[in-house]
Amino acid sequence: MTINVNNKSQSITENSSVSSLLVQLDIVANGIAVAINNDIISKEEWSKRFLQQEDQVTIIQATQGG
């Protein structure tokens, strides 16, 4: 299945949740926010929210600095 992650095409396994996407992409879940089709997905919903073909996923990493 193909989705778009941060404006880049990404092939993932069928029936992937947001949590499993992060594992597939080797992204640590701490300090990030995820939106699907411009809707923010709460961390509590990551394991319950499954991705669909052509979904637009935005992953934002919090950074520290000044």
* Distance (Å, whole) CA 53 – CA 26: 20
Average pLDDT over residues 7-13: 96
Task: Flag whether 22 is in a domain.
Answer: yes
Task: Flag whether 16 is in a domain.
Answer: yes
Q: What is the pLDDT of residue 32?
A: 96
* Distance (Å, whole) CA 65 – CA 31: 14
* Mean pLDDT for the chain overall: 95
pTM score: 0.90
pLDDT at 3 over 90: yes
Residue numbers of the domain that contains 47? 2-61
Q: What is the pLDDT of residue 66?
A: 59
* Distance (Å, whole) CA 32 – CA 11: 21
Number of domains in the chain: 1
Task: Flag whether 29 is in a domain.
Answer: yes
pLDDT at 51 over 80: yes
